[in-house]
């Protein structure tokens, strides 16, 4: 073997690393993403106090109605929630989506005021003041959104605010297709 | 000098503070110490590389509370870990489990080290021994003497 070829070894290592870094950058790989283990599994337990006065608490029965539902954790103190809020309003009003909103670590009266000011797209609304439901749902913060099919299986889990693109490319096709 | 010694001693005695607040702690010291050990092995889901024991994040506090509730309900340590993995996946374990997806992670380091060590050993054995310098011949010695004298 030509010993001179050995000198190419560092260069080859450099090329390998550069390739890996380029792939990381270009393939949209997000090292901060923690993924979700819930997708493909039955939705976690739902047992949350009502946010609006005089309404019944949220229970598992809401997730297995044969129709897809969207579960959205939000808070009035959360700025990205403010950004995604109009999209939920549109989903509820234009597309007739059933959206369950859960106010996470949010004083109920503050969450109610927030919804009064911005409009309330939630067919059912819960108050998870201590974050217990959030833990059951593998929540890392707000906002997070789950798409649940008619059988009560989680199909998508968005960490962070949903965008116009998520709405058009994922949520609307899901609502049309899910049984 | 004494001052300096005191300074060094202070540095040595300083420990990283835990984020566990007294109000969160369990009354039973045995259970609390188990909770602390579990907390050090669980990763806070919003802070990349901090355990829930070290993190002041809201979610980390909820997770610490859940760990203590599970322990108080009589769960074994493995059951508490399983509880967290069911919600957040293997990501929450600071020590990833050994399975199909992680064998490269566990074995990669030792494997590379043994390859490098083997190559080094191979190269060292192949290297020719250094020949000791030859003594000067008579002719060379004469020339050297002549040079030194002039």
ipTM surpasses 0.90: no
Residue of B nearest to A38 (CA): B87
Give pLDDT tens digits for A102-140: 999 999 999 999 999 999 999 999 999 999 999 999 999
CB-based contact A141 B91, cutoff 8 Å:
no
CB-based contact A135 B87, cutoff 8 Å:
yes
CATH of A47-177, one of 3.40.30.10, 3.30.830.10, 2.70.170.10, 3.30.930.10: 3.40.30.10
CB atoms within 10 A of CB A80: 15
Tell me, yes or no, if B47 comes closer than 8 A to chain A by beta carbon. Answer: no
Question: How would residue A27 be classed by pLDDT, with cut points 50, 70 and 90?
Answer: confident
Which pLDDT belongs to residue B51?
93
pTM: 0.78
Contacts of B45 (CB under 8 A, 6+ apart): A34, A140, B59, B60, B63, B88, B91, B92
Chain A residues inside the 8 Å CB shell of B48:
32
Q: Where are the domains of chain A?
A: 1-31, 47-177
CB-based contact B63 A131, cutoff 8 Å:
no
Nearest Cβ partner for B45 among A131, A136, A140:
A140
Which pLDDT belongs to residue B15?
65
Residue of A nearest to B89 (CA): A37
Q: Taking a C-beta distance cutoff of 8 angstroms, is the pair A95, A172 a contact?
A: yes
Q: Which domains does chain B have, with CATH numbers?
A: 13-92 (1.10.8.640)
Give pLDDT tens digits for A47-106: 999 999 999 999 999 998 999 999 999 999 999 999 999 999 999 999 999 999 999 999
Which pLDDT belongs to residue B18?
76
Contacts of B70 (CB under 8 A, 6+ apart): B79, B80, B83
Containing A53, the helix (H) or strand (E) segment is: none
């Amino acid at each position: 073997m030509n010993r001179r070829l050995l000198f190419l070894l560092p260069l080859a290592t450099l090329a390998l690393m550069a390739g890996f870094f380029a792939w990381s950058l270009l393939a949209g790989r997000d090292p901060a993403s923690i993924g979700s283990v819930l997708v493909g599994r039955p939705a976690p337990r739902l047992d949350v106090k009502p946010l609006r006065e005089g309404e019944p608490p949220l229970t598992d029965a809401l997730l297995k109605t044969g129709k897809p539902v969207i579960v959205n954790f939000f808070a009035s103190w959360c700025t990205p929630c403010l950004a995604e809020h109009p999209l939920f309003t549109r989903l509820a009003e234009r597309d007739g989506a059933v959206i369950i909103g859960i106010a996470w670590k949010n004083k109920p009266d503050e969450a109610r005021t927030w919804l009064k000011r911005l409009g309330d797209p939630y067919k059912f609304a819960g108050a998870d003041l201590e974050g217990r439901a959030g833990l059951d749902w593998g929540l890392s913060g707000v906002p997070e959104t789950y798409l649940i099919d008619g059988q009560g299986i989680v199909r998508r889990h968005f960490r962070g605010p949903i965008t116009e693109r998520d709405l058009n490319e994922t949520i609307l096709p899901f609502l049309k297709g899910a049984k | 000098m004494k001052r300096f010694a005191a300074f060094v001693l202070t540095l040595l005695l300083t420990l990283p503070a835990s984020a566990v607040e007294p109000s969160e702690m369990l009354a039973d010291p045995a259970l609390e110490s188990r909770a602390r050990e579990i907390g050090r092995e669980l990763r806070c889901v919003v802070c990349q590389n901090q355990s829930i024991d070290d993190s002041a994040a809201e979610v980390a506090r909820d997770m610490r509370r859940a760990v203590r509730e599970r322990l108080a309900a009589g769960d074994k340590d493995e059951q508490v870990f399983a509880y967290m993995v069911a919600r957040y996946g293997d990501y929450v374990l600071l020590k990833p489990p050994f399975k199909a997806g992680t064998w490269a992670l566990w074995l990669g380091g030792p494997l590379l080290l043994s390859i490098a060590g083997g190559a080094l050993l191979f190269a060292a054995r192949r290297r020719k021994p250094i020949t000791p310098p030859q003594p000067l011949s008579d002719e060379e010695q004469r020339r050297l003497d002549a040079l030194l004298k002039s």
